[in-house]
Amino acid sequence: MRIACIVLIAAGRFAAAQSSVDSQLAAEIAKIKAIDNHAHPVRPALGSDKDNDYDALRVESMEPYTEPVRTREGTPLVLDAWRALFGYRYTDRAPDHVRELRDRKKQLLEEKRDGYANWVLDQLGIETMLANRVAMGPGLAAPRFLWVPFEDALMYPLSNATLAARNSDRKAFYADEERLLQRYLKESGVKEPPATLDLYLQKVVTPTLERHKRAGAIAVKFEAAYLRSLSFEDVPRAEAVRIYSGAHALPATEAAYTKLQDFIFRYIAEECGRLGMAVHIHAAAGAGGYFHIAGANPLLLEPLFNDPKLRKTNFVMLHGGWPFTREVAALLAKPNVYADFSEQTFMNYPRAVAQVIREWLEYAPEKVLFATDAYPFSDEMSWEEAGWVATTTGREALGLALTEMMRDGEITRDRALELAGMVLRDNARKLYQLK
Ligand SMILES: [Zn+2]
């Protein structure tokens, strides 16, 4: 019911687009309790207890860049989210109005404490959120929140000085990865990366993945596109062994280090197949003025998807490859490859997202997943607001895509309803074998 109200409020701002969504379909879509394939919820923290585990590479450390219009400071979407989530009564951001909102949020946090994040999910019509975080903690508990840890750090056991020197964003990102590797080394009971690659895989990489699995992880996440290209070559083990050991005497060249990373990445992907964890890959343009968009083209992942050794591993292209969304449609033909449309749903307008969803649904509807990428971007757009924008836009875009397919005689109304359920929850339920 609550969600129906949210959608009605949203309809105000998206009036033109909303008017062409079939009303029965819109009502059904609003009712479906979703599984959110990818998000960064923040632990409800009171007082000085601050949560920094919502991302391994936090975007606050980046140089300023030209942000997409919809997520810029001052976007009217934030006001819509405040109205829907926190009963905000104003159409402006006057300081005393914003102060009232802050007090309301604080009051809700104090009232609900560890139940706050669950309450947010209820407002968003989300039953289960895959929480892509460094660690979980009080207030983000299964079954509502399921863990997706980061594994990039394991790919960088050698000196990262040359890679970090490329620009200030990379410098901050590699420092973050080095800190996380230190954490994984410590948790694995070693002080530094062991002398040989075999020992490193045996004593650090596999135990870290197994630890994550034991702690409830259903998938692992790579933010590799922020650090390097998504082209992961199939490097012979002997060559990787040589590069790893050789680096004790002389730092590896960038080309050699890339090969070592490629080998470790594929090793992790294969291990994830064995352990039954899906591999999530950021495959889309990303934040920042130095982000290498061409290096994030999902077509670069094709050799990986085509490797028979990795057919037991399920891969999910997060953010659906934007702007390479048509390439993503073609890649969905691989039996173990999926995509979600997160990030697009707060960066882009519903009609643009609808076109993408339609193209995928016309090709491989079992592989399409709903996701928000709810993220604490700023004080005014935290994960609650970003989640609201993404879920509202996502449901509307899905409604538009299905309505158009129905009107063009491609599918019946019953099939449209079935597809809505598949995208919003059933595809994810099957992929992660959720009850
Ligand atoms: Zn994300």
- Range 410-431 average pLDDT: 98
What is the separation of C-alpha 98 from the centre of its chain, rounded to a whole number of angstroms? Answer: 29
Cα 54 to middle of ligand 1, angstroms = 9
- Range 91-118 average pLDDT: 95
Cα 397 to middle of ligand 1, angstroms = 20
- CA distances from residue 257 to 252, 260, 302, 382 in whole angstroms, order as listed: 6, 5, 21, 37
375 found inside a domain = yes
Q: What is the DSSP letter of 323?
A: T
> In CATH, what number is assigned to the domain containing residue 205?
3.20.20.140
- Lowest mean pLDDT of 40-49, 233-242, 318-327, 395-404, name the range: 40-49
Q: Is the pLDDT assigned to residue 376 strictly greater than 60?
A: yes
Domain carrying residue 287: 2-72+124-431
Cα 11 to middle of ligand 1, angstroms = 26
- In this prediction, residue 50 carries a pLDDT of 81
- Range 34-54 average pLDDT: 88
Angle between helix 23-31 and helix 413-421 axes, rounded to 10 deg: 20
Cα 173 to middle of ligand 1, angstroms = 15
77 found inside a domain = no
Cα 375 to middle of ligand 1, angstroms = 7
The mean pLDDT value of the chain amounts to 93
Query: Dihedral of CA 168/169/171/172: which sign?
Result: positive
- Range 190-213 average pLDDT: 98
pLDDT band, residue 12 (cuts 50/70/90): very low
Q: Using CA atoms, how far apart are residues 340 and 56, in angstroms rounded to an integer?
A: 20
Cα 428 to middle of ligand 1, angstroms = 17
pLDDT tens string 62-76:
888 999 999 888 899
91 found inside a domain = no
- In this prediction, residue 4 carries a pLDDT of 45
Q: Is the pLDDT assigned to residue 13 strictly greater than 70?
A: no
Q: Is the pLDDT assigned to residue 1 strictly greater than 60?
A: no
Cα 167 to middle of ligand 1, angstroms = 22
- Range 77-87 average pLDDT: 96
- Lowest mean pLDDT of 24-38, 59-73, 84-98, 345-359, name the range: 59-73
40 found inside a domain = yes
pLDDT band, residue 61 (cuts 50/70/90): confident
99 found inside a domain = no
Quote the number of domains for the chain.
1
Among left, alpha and beta (phi > 0; psi -120 to 50; other), residue 229 is beta
Cα 284 to middle of ligand 1, angstroms = 11
Cα 373 to middle of ligand 1, angstroms = 5
Q: What is the DSSP string of 385-431?
A: HHHHHHHHHHHHHHHHHHHHHHHTTSS-HHHHHHHHHIIIIIHHHHH
Q: For residue 303, what are its two tokens?
A: 């050799």
The one-letter amino acid at 133: R
344 found inside a domain = yes
Q: Using CA atoms, how far apart are residues 243 and 259, in angstroms rounded to an integer?
A: 8
- Range 353-377 average pLDDT: 97
Angle between helix 76-86 and helix 2-13 axes, rounded to 10 deg: 160
Cα 114 to middle of ligand 1, angstroms = 23
pLDDT band, residue 58 (cuts 50/70/90): confident
83 found inside a domain = no
Q: Using CA atoms, how far apart are residues 403 and 408, in angstroms rounded to an integer?
A: 9
Cα 316 to middle of ligand 1, angstroms = 13
Q: Is the pLDDT assigned to residue 8 strictly greater than 90?
A: no
Cα 383 to middle of ligand 1, angstroms = 11
Cα 403 to middle of ligand 1, angstroms = 29
- In this prediction, residue 51 carries a pLDDT of 86
Cα 196 to middle of ligand 1, angstroms = 33
Strand order in the sheet with 34-39: 34-39, 126-132, 145-148
80 found inside a domain = no
Cα 240 to middle of ligand 1, angstroms = 30
pTM over 0.85: yes
pLDDT tens string 292-334:
999 999 999 999 999 999 999 999 999 999 999 999 999 999 9
CA dihedral 201, 204, 207, 208 (to 10 degrees): -120
The beta-carbon contacts of 169-174 under 8 Å, at least 24 apart in sequence, are 169/61, 169/62, 169/63, 169/226, 169/288, 169/289, 169/290, 169/291, 170/227, 170/290, 172/57, 172/61, 172/62, 173/57, 173/61, 173/226, 173/227, 174/227
Cα 319 to middle of ligand 1, angstroms = 8
- Range 385-389 average pLDDT: 97
Cα 17 to middle of ligand 1, angstroms = 26
